[in-house]
Amino acid sequence: MKVVLLGYMASGKSTVGKELASKNNVAFIDLDQEIEKQENLSIAEIFSEKGEIYFRKKETEVLKRLLQEDKNLVLSLGGGTPCYGNNMQLVNESNYNSFYIKLSIPVIVARLTNEKTTRPLVAQIGVADLPEFVGKHLFERNTFYQQAKHTITADSLTVAETVTQIEELV
């Protein structure tokens, strides 16, 4: 099983990825956590100390390495990963099946409202402004997300149901 999960923050990429990997006895890697491990810094620290350009270069480098290893793996990308450089091209030219976990704006906003303290990108945004923020981001990123080989519309799906849909398509 070779799967790459992508989608907006709070779409469930890591939760679904861990469950999918565990159920199929393959490794799970969260790209952001892999970068943090390599750099010995959090993503927020990398951004503040080394800048976004450095982070995006490192992100592409680690993504390329993981895809070239070509082993059974469930890989969860950061929400912005598909949108930079040639990252989606790298994913789609690999032997991995890519899945866009698609959620509606209201579902994403509800999840982010509950996770604001753990999401630096939205921590400073008022709850009333979240729908516009998410909508704008999704509009900008949708072109990249739609390049995934498969789309799972997960608004009304449980984690287990999402995992099952992915398994049926692999």
Residues tagged in the binding site annotation for ATP: 10-15, 119
Q: Which residues does the annotation place in the binding site?
A: 10-15, 32, 56, 79, 119, 141
Q: Which residues does the annotation place in the binding site for Mg(2+)?
A: 14
Q: How far apart are CA 106 and CA 90, in angstroms?
A: 31
Q: Between the CA atoms of 116, 4, 28 and 162, what dihedral angle is there, to the nearest 10 degrees?
A: 70
Q: How far apart are CA 18 and CA 145, in angstroms?
A: 20
| b/e map 96-114, b = 16+ CB within 10 Å | bbbbbbbbebebbbebbee
Q: Which residues does the annotation place in the binding site for substrate?
A: 32, 56, 79, 141
**Beta carbons within 10 angstroms of residue 169's beta carbon:** 12
